[in-house]
A and B are shown apart, each in its own frame.
Chain A
Amino acid sequence: MTMKCLEFRQEFESRRTISDEMHDHADGCGECTRFVAEELELNELFGSLPSVEAPIGFQSRVFSAIGQRRDEKAWFPIRTILIPVAGCLVLALAGYFVFLRTPADLNQVAMADKGEGDVAVSTGSNSDRPAPTPELEIASAPEIKEREKELSAADANTVKHPEAESIADAKKTAGEKGVSRKENPKEGSEIRSIDSIDMGSEAPDVENPPGIEPGARIERSESGPRTRFSATEVLLAIGVSAEWKGSGYLVKTVSENSLAARSGVKTGDLVLSIDGKAVKPGVMSVETADGKSLKIRRGGREMVLALGNRND
């Protein structure tokens, strides 16, 4: 009966008419009779719904909308070209300023501001540094080593190396006379290596120290005096030629009358720290280029030497 009712309703919904067979079923089934009555009434309700029409002048409205849309469409290809092109230009400009201009700018700054508030900074592994320019020759590591060897050879033979002597003399003069330190190197002075700086009779310039790390580049100083020097720089400044031995710098030669010599540093000492900071091959942070104290190991004993305290 239930199945038949379902069939009856499906049939009625699709046909909207009652066949004889359906009539027989409806006669004996009150629910299906009510269903048919409700369906017919529902149809009547649908039929009673007024038909809604488009407003007067709808056609012209459609055509004017078509005209407007056409105009917009005519501009569309231009917009589709212009927008990507503009976007590419912006990206290209941004790329130029971010990636291409920086190294060139640095070169220009280095060239333009040479000797005017610039300091030498070791760049370590900085790969994008600009190539050294002819105006500013920077001594390379082998050159520095060669000069160190020359100095130590001169010391070993107790023959005064004229330039090493001039450094020692300059320090001495500075220490004795209390000459104020220069902010900038002399205009026209050539920064090549420690032994080629034109120091004159003044003390070495701590803000433009002579020892320049391999691959160092010139940058504009943003935060005043320089505070980062390498251990080699400091040791050379006080008159020590040393070699890195894993835990410290082994003193190979000490320049006569140098600050190191006057402070008691001897050949064979192992320099462990400068101004309380452990030495290491890279750049370290000490306040001055020549240091204030050295911690050394001599014959298994560690001791701290105050620089400039001894005058023997």
Chain B
Amino acid sequence: MDACLALKQPTLVRREVATLTVSYKSQSDHDLIELTRKGEESAYAEIVARYQNPLTNYLYRMLNDYEEAVDLTQEAFVRVYLAIERYHSGYAFSTYIYRIATNLAITELRKRKRRKLFSLTGLFQFDGDEEVEFQPPDKRETPDLETVNKEKSVVIGKAIAALPDKYRAPIILREIQELSYEEIAEILELGLGTTKSRISRGRGLLRDRLKDYLGR
């Protein structure tokens, strides 16, 4: 009997893990945080799995540097985990983690400004008192559609990364992360009106800069 149990055990264990994983996937962010508080690291692993790609994408668009984006995403998860006792479910977990990521990105951008680490190939334009990097569009004819799309995405990415800080985060959160105005307002701790106007102004700036790509 015991031998039979022993033979069946690996299967049982596998099933339990599978059930556990399934149960984690069906649980809300708040529930997972609660489980993490109780010491279940697997619950936090599920949180990481849920948000690692959106956060990496967001930070990559903010910083236009993949390695830095990955590092800051990791830092955001570490900070959330170490301060998990202080987290309260007053607002969505996504808002909480995006806020942390945004603050990390803004800090990094400020550091960059101090170090004056700007692209050597870029031209500099001044919008108010903020430095803006501008990439001129490449107007060469390219027969391959894939190459054209690749080039487009590079130019758009650079145009976004060159937006002033106050427009960049709302634009990325709205146009790339596809969050609602309300969520963006919460993440950035801004009023709804201010959030909308920043997004509108950011889009206006992008339209101007990407004129050569619009209507091609």
Which residues of A pack against B, CB within 8 Å?
9-10, 13-14, 37-39, 41-43, 45-46, 48-55, 58-59, 61-63, 65-66, 69-70, 73
User: In the complex, A50→B203 CA distance in Å?
Assistant: 19
- Whether, in the assembled complex, B52 has its beta carbon less than 8 Å from a beta carbon of chain A, the answer is yes
- Whether, in the assembled complex, B196 has its beta carbon less than 8 Å from a beta carbon of chain A, the answer is yes
Q: Are A53 and B215 in contact, with the CB atoms below 8 A?
A: no
Q: Are B49 and A59 in contact, with the CB atoms below 8 A?
A: yes
Additional pairs, 6, CB under 8 Å, beyond known A14-B181, A52-B61: A13-B196, A13-B199, A14-B196, A58-B70, A59-B49, A62-B81
Q: Are B53 and A51 in contact, with the CB atoms below 8 A?
A: yes
Contact of A48 among B55, B153, B206 (CB under 8 A): B153
Contacts of B176 in A (CB 8 A): 46, 49
Contact of A39 among B56, B81, B181, B203 (CB under 8 A): B203
User: In the complex, A46→B206 CA distance in Å?
Assistant: 11
User: In the complex, A58→B52 CA distance in Å?
Assistant: 8
- Whether, in the assembled complex, B60 has its beta carbon less than 8 Å from a beta carbon of chain A, the answer is yes
- Give min CB distance, A222 to chain B, whole Å: 53
Contact of A54 among B53, B149, B210 (CB under 8 A): B53
- Whether, in the assembled complex, B77 has its beta carbon less than 8 Å from a beta carbon of chain A, the answer is yes
Q: Are B152 and A41 in contact, with the CB atoms below 8 A?
A: no
Contact of A73 among B49, B57, B82, B156 (CB under 8 A): B82
- Whether, in the assembled complex, B73 has its beta carbon less than 8 Å from a beta carbon of chain A, the answer is yes
Q: Are A52 and B66 in contact, with the CB atoms below 8 A?
A: yes
User: In the complex, A113→B163 CA distance in Å?
Assistant: 79
- Across the interface, name the chain B residue whose C-beta is closest to A68: B78
A-B contact pairs, 7 of them (CB 8 A): A14-B181, A42-B210, A50-B153, A54-B53, A58-B48, A58-B74, A61-B74
For B54-73 the 0/1 string (1 means CB < 8 A from A) is: 01110011000010011001
Chain B contact residues: helix, strand, loop or mixed: helix
User: In the complex, A53→B181 CA distance in Å?
Assistant: 24
- Whether, in the assembled complex, B175 has its beta carbon less than 8 Å from a beta carbon of chain A, the answer is yes
Contact of A41 among B75, B181, B214 (CB under 8 A): B214
Q: Are A52 and B57 in contact, with the CB atoms below 8 A?
A: yes
**What is the number of residues of chain B that contact chain A, defined by CB distance less than 8 Å?**
39
Q: Are B215 and A38 in contact, with the CB atoms below 8 A?
A: yes
Which residues of B pack against A, CB within 8 Å?
41, 45, 48-49, 52-53, 55-57, 60-61, 66, 69-70, 73-75, 77-78, 81-82, 149, 152-153, 156-157, 175-176, 181, 196, 199-200, 203, 206-207, 210, 213-215
- Give min CB distance, A195 to chain B, whole Å: 79
- Across the interface, name the chain B residue whose C-beta is closest to A65: B78
- Give min CB distance, B195 to chain A, whole Å: 11
Max count, chain B CB within 10 A of own CB: residue among A10, A39, A62 = A62
Contact of B203 among A13, A37, A52, A65 (CB under 8 A): A13
- Give min CB distance, B167 to chain A, whole Å: 14
Q: Are B78 and A66 in contact, with the CB atoms below 8 A?
A: yes
Q: Are A62 and B77 in contact, with the CB atoms below 8 A?
A: yes
Q: Are A69 and B82 in contact, with the CB atoms below 8 A?
A: yes
Contacts of B55 in A (CB 8 A): 54
Contact of B175 among A38, A43, A50, A70 (CB under 8 A): A43
Q: Are A42 and B206 in contact, with the CB atoms below 8 A?
A: yes
Contacts A58-B70, A62-B48 given; does A42 touch B203 at CB 8 Å: yes
Contacts of B69 in A (CB 8 A): 52
Q: Are A53 and B207 in contact, with the CB atoms below 8 A?
A: no
- Across the interface, name the chain B residue whose C-beta is closest to A9: B200
- Give min CB distance, A76 to chain B, whole Å: 11
